[in-house]
Amino acid sequence: MTDSAALLNKHSFVELGARQRAQALLDAGTFRELLDPFQRVMSPWLERQGVVPQADDGVIIAKGSLDGLPVVIAAIEGAFQGGSLGEVGGAKIAGALELAAEDNRNGIPTRAVLLLETGGVRLQEANLGLAAIADIHAAIVDLQQYQPVVGVVAGSVGCFGGMSIAAALCSYLLVTQEARLGLNGPQVIEQEAGIEEYDSRDRPFIWSLTGGEQRFNTGLVDRYVGDDVAQIRQQVGELLQQGLPAQPRSQRAEWFLQRLRKLNTDQQIEPSVVRDLYQGERS
């Protein structure tokens, strides 16, 4: 195929909404949405704060199959309230993962894929968002006793806050160049630590530390792919086939502590320092 033909065949994943992303990953004709927007299970907290709620609360739960394997997909709609998680959206994700774990206890090998575009807790529902995220963490760890959980951060919102912890709990993480992954949003770091520490308006600086390419080069994610539906679908399928990782990243405390001991923390940090520290000669 020539380059221009390849380009014409390329379909952007990043440009898709959450529902279309879930549809694009599932085997044709197997997509079935749970708690769809017509059921209007909406946030009970937004309207009284002058925010218009959305009929799916910004979270899509879909069951179906991927390369013939039973999966449940939870996709966050980054376009609604910055992908923030409130009580309903959070409970949808936690509840779906809990049922997937229950399936496995009953002999049904349901796997999970999380499509993450989120700033974390929805501040209008603060403590209920935080509680829901704790439930999501619990459910990911529970499900991983049986099956892998694959996280995808495609962009363009990125994945932050308590949901970056959820991403880091996943068995495997896949990102594109459009992805950012980090605990604290740039504005909040600047607010808390000052502009010398973190300049939230310096975009190249922020991408160099938390962008998808850097996260891949530092081993904090597993796959780095182009923004293309077919590629992403293929890689997610491969990761699901792999089963559970031999050594999950979130269970490597000793290794990370040992690496952090070697770091000189007197100076401020550069992206290359992280690559050298976590990957050694590989990068």
Q: Considering only CA atoms, which of 129, 213, 138, 132 is closest in space to residue 169?
A: 138
- Alpha helix stretches (DSSP H) within 10-152: 18-25, 87-105, 126-143
Interface region with other proteins, contact rule CB under 8 A, candidates 7-15, 16-24, 83-91, 223-231:
83-91
* Cis before 156? omega within 30: yes
Q: List strand residue ranges (DSSP E) for 77-230, in order.
A: 111-115, 149-153, 172-175, 223-224
By CB under 8 A, tell whether 69 contacts other proteins: no
By CB under 8 A, tell whether 279 contacts other proteins: no
Which of 98, 213, 228, 238 touches other proteins (CB under 8 A)?
Answer: 98
Which of 9, 269, 279, 280 touches other proteins (CB under 8 A)?
Answer: 269
Name residues contacting other proteins, limited to 236-255 (CB under 8 A): 248-254
By CB under 8 A, tell whether 79 contacts other proteins: no
Q: Give the total of residues touching other proteins (CB under 8 A).
A: 84
By CB under 8 A, tell whether 141 contacts other proteins: yes
By CB under 8 A, tell whether 131 contacts other proteins: yes
Torsion angle of C-alpha atoms 243, 110, 160, 162, degrees rounded to 10 = -110
By CB under 8 A, tell whether 145 contacts other proteins: yes
Name residues contacting other proteins, limited to 108-127 (CB under 8 A): 120-121, 123-127
Residue 86 or 237 having the CB closest to other proteins: 86
- Could you identify the residue written with the tokens 């308590």? 162
Q: 176-195 b/e with 16+ CB inside 10 Å = b?
A: bbbbbbbbbbbebbbeeeee
Interface region with other proteins, contact rule CB under 8 A, candidates 3-11, 227-235, 239-247, 267-275:
267-275
Encoded tokens for 132:
């829901």
Q: Phi then psi for 59, rounded to 5 degrees?
A: -130, 130
CB of 139 to other proteins, least distance (A): 9
Residue 21 or 215 having the CB closest to other proteins: 215
Number of H helices, E strands in the chain: 11, 7
By CB under 8 A, tell whether 83 contacts other proteins: no
By CB under 8 A, tell whether 188 contacts other proteins: yes
Which of 96, 113, 149, 240 touches other proteins (CB under 8 A)?
Answer: 96
Residue 12 or 255 having the CB closest to other proteins: 255
Residue pair 155/184 in contact (Cβ under 8 Å)? The answer is: no
CB of 254 to other proteins, least distance (A): 6
Residue 3 host element (H or E): helix 3-9
By CB under 8 A, tell whether 37 contacts other proteins: no
